[in-house]
Amino acid sequence: MASKVMKVGIISKTDYMERTLAIAKGDYKPRKGEPKVWFESVKSMSQVLSNENQELLRVIISHKPHSITELEKITSRKKSNLSRTLKTLEKYGIVELKRMAGKIIPKVKATDFKVEFGLHYSSPTHQISA
């Protein structure tokens, strides 16, 4: 699988809500190349992109499991744990869970991550001058 870089940003929940409202009102237009996936903190990002979850992504890429049950056998992780983790990864657009013939097939959508954060993301409606 060729690597696919996903840009992620870190922004507080309050600032994210303000940013979303500003976009909806037309007061702020996201710059080209801005992250489309946001985490509330470095801590929350590190939990989603933990070493264990990165290893899970590697296993999915290398073994191409045809179901979560098959992935359970490969990883020795419980199905409930895998389902929860995969749903979280799907929420952030890192994996896709395809439903086919009563099975859920995990597909990795992002292999590498570029993290962006700074004052201009936390207050997009307030221009920061240099």
Q: Where are the domains of the chain?
A: 5-122
Q: Is 66 exposed, middle or buried (0-12, 13-18, 19+ CB in 10 A)?
A: middle
- pLDDT value for 119: 67
- pLDDT value for 8: 94
pTM score of the predicted model: 0.82
* H or E segment and range at residue 55: helix 51-63
- pLDDT value for 33: 87
Tens digits of per-residue pLDDT, 101-124?
999 999 999 999 999 887 666 555
Of 44, 14, 10, 39, which Cα lies nearest the Cα of 125?
Answer: 14
Q: Would you identify the CATH topology of the domain 5-122?
A: Arc Repressor Mutant, subunit A (1.10.10)
Tens digits of per-residue pLDDT, 60-106?
999 999 999 999 999 999 999 999 999 999 999 999 999 999 999 99
- pLDDT value for 130: 43
Is residue 96 helix, strand or coil? strand
Give CA–CA dist 46/19, Å, rounded.
23
